[in-house]
Amino acid sequence: MDWEDSEKKRKALWLTMESKPAKTMLMFWRRLAGRDPFYGDNRAYDFAHGRHRASRIQIVNHLIATNGYKSYLEIGVRRTGAMFENINVEARTGVDPDPNAKADHCMTSDAFFAQNARTFDIVFIDGNHTGEQVRKDIENSLAALSPNGVIVLHDMNPPSMFHAREVYEVDGRYPAWNGSSWKGFAWARAHRADVAMCVVDTDWGVGIIHRGAQQTIDLENPTYDDLAADRDRILNLISVGTFLDRYSAPISDPVDARAV
């Protein structure tokens, strides 16, 4: 069952959790425990580019530093460009259909890939948060990926049915949202035996995909209930420490199975 099918269960409670006092309490707990019940691990680690608190930005910069990547594509730049502008790489390309976003290409990811002839060392997917669009972004990114490249995805580990809802807006408000992005990742876990995949348990779930090999899972048309019941297997969920153990050496092609 997904949130929309549950008659929007506990909507009032979740909206209360978005209040300033609730967020302040969560921030205090995150700093105290090094872990947020929604965000995941927020502790500081020694990445290839220095010591930082775990986040999607540090995961991407670690992979760039470790592999010597030169080209970076970001799908879903947003208006602030906060992620895009903090990536330490020689050549950055941003795609976002919002004309106010700080993107090089003001268009959908589908339109960009339809006219793109370049390859990229690393692609970051954080655009349209529906499972079907994430599936298409994964497929298109793999086709545009350099031989030893990697795809990184955000919002792959929604902590609740509410966070995994299909639509961002709730009663005129815009609470924390991961969407159904995870379903696109799960599709690849079920259908792409030619890649290696995992999700790092930080920053709402940071997905990793690269050429390699994996044992596909038996999963068709999953709902959030399926994810909640078998999260570790569906996502191949790993800790930040395990990520650093596995990805502190360059990714090799074509049979790198380290994320299996």
Kindly report, residue by residue over 117-171, the tens digit of the pLDDT.
Answer: 999 999 999 999 999 999 999 999 999 999 999 999 999 999 988 889 887 666 6
pLDDT value at residue 9 = 64
Is 224 part of a structural domain of the chain?
A: yes
Rounded (5°) CA angle 105-109-113: 90
What DSSP element (H or E) covers 211? strand 206-211
Q: Model confidence over 14-59: pLDDT tens digits?
A: 555 565 665 566 665 556 656 677 789 999 999 999 999 999 999 9
Ranges of H-type helices in the chain: 11-17, 20-33, 56-67, 109-115, 131-143, 181-191, 224-229, 231-235, 240-246
Read off the CATH number of the domain in which 64 is found: 3.40.50.150
Report the distance separating Cα 138 and Cα 52, nearest Å: 28
Is 76 part of a structural domain of the chain?
A: yes
Q: Model confidence over 102-121: pLDDT tens digits?
A: 899 999 999 999 999 999 99
Predicted TM-score of the model (pTM) = 0.88
pLDDT value at residue 82 = 84
Q: How many domains does the chain have?
A: 1
Report the distance separating Cα 208 and Cα 205, nearest Å: 10
pLDDT value at residue 172 = 74
Residues 6+ apart with CB under 8 A from 109: 75, 76, 95, 127, 128, 133, 136, 137, 140
Is 18 part of a structural domain of the chain?
A: no
- Host domain of residue 92: 55-246
CB 73 within 8 A of CB 83: no
The total number of residues shown for the chain amounts to 260
Is 50 part of a structural domain of the chain?
A: no
Cα torsion at 25, 163, 83, 242 (round to 10°)?
80
Is 169 part of a structural domain of the chain?
A: yes
What values do phi and psi take at 133, rounded to 5?
-70, -40
Is 22 part of a structural domain of the chain?
A: no
Share the mean pLDDT of the chain. 88
Say yes or no to pLDDT of 187 above 70.
Answer: yes
Is 29 part of a structural domain of the chain?
A: no
